[in-house]
Structure 1
Amino acid sequence: METTYRTGSYYGDNSTNHIWETHDEGTLVAELYVSTDRHEIMNIEVTEAYRGEGHARHLYETADAQMGIYHAPAAHRSEEGNAFAEAVGGDTVAPYPCDCTGCDTQED
């Protein structure tokens, strides 16, 4: 397994993110996207065949050790993302103004 780092967009959305990837003999195993401005986790994905082997945790720990990263606010997480945040622990990004549907439904 090889873990690499680069910057790039999130699937062509013209944003700039920190990106860590794990490859197994050229096959993409897992990828972690972190915003450059808040160091907020934007997405973490593991190829189905490799799930449950600790690849997401490895990328999280690698990125956190390199620059310190934060989980997205609970309203921004998928069910799986919330489970991941609870499993690995760590800090959630500081609150910031947001008008997304999830944040509009959160109680103050």
Structure 2
Amino acid sequence: MLTITARIGDYYGDGSSNHIWATRDSDGALIAELYVSTDRREIMNIWVDEDHRGEGHARQLYETATDQMDVFHAPVAHRTPEGNAFAEAVGGETVTPYPCDCYACDTMED
């Protein structure tokens, strides 16, 4: 039996605030996590244990989260190839553009 829990916590170790949904098995072992920023409701990370990839855990967490609030995909420049494939597979809106000085955004303007 799988359990999905929700909490608010830090992802980056910098004190940031994120909604966190997690899937655990009946032994309490972590299977998957979804981190969504509390300010923009932007997906910051989705992680699934290697042994459980392809089983729909990321989609299940995304659907659980979107049943509870608006959740937005990160800008394309911020996505990994896997994150982009996930965004395309599940659909949904991308976060409204915001000022960003990361390397990916800086190189897009050049």
Structure-1-length-normalised TM-score = 0.96
Correspondence for 2:56:
54
State how 1:1-108 maps to structure 2 within 5 Å.
Answer: 1-25=2-26, 26-107=28-109
Moved more, 71-80 or 5-14: 5-14
Question: Cα distance, 1:12 vs. partner?
Answer: 2.5
Structure 2 gaps of 5+ residues are none
Alignment partners' CA distance in 1, 2:101 and 2:12: 23
Cα RMSD over matched residues?
Answer: 1.2
Give 1:86's aligned amino acid: E
Q: What's the % identity of the aligned pairs?
A: 70
Question: Cα distance, 1:11 vs. partner?
Answer: 4.6
Structure 1 residue ranges (4+ consecutive) displaced by more than 2 angstroms after TM superposition:
none
Structure 1 gaps of 5+ residues are none
Residue 106 of structure 1 aligns to a residue in which SS? helix
Alignment partners' CA distance in 1, 2:103 and 2:84: 17
Structure-2-length-normalised TM-score = 0.94
Number of residue pairs matched?
Answer: 108
